[in-house]
Amino acid sequence: MSLVTQEDIEARGYANLADVLKTQPAIGVTNSGGAGSSTSLRVRGEEGYRTLVRIDGVDISDPTGTQVQPQLGHLQAANVSRVKY
């Protein structure tokens, strides 16, 4: 398990959570445009729908699709105290 702290996020000037995650080893993040666009998260080559993302213990997967996966495009890095993966 690894941890990205609020100090790490602020020191690097990340604007959104996808930017924080895509710089970490074994994590792949792709998006189809700018802020708010569809963003996929993959851990160690797995498909995005097999990745569980929780914010304060709440699953943020989008249940409207046939293969449920978390949507990160709208999540800003401001006020994020830590990211564990």
Residue spans per domain, the chain: 3-84
- The CATH architecture one would assign to domain 3-84 is Beta Complex (2.170)
pTM of the model: 0.64
β-pairing verdict for 54-55 and 69-70: unpaired
pLDDT, tens digit, for every residue of 6-45?
898 888 888 888 888 888 888 888 777 666 667 777 888 7
CA dihedral 34, 35, 36, 42 (to 10 degrees): 80
Q: Which residues fall within 8 angstroms of residue 67, CB to CB, at 6 or more apart?
A: 47, 48, 49
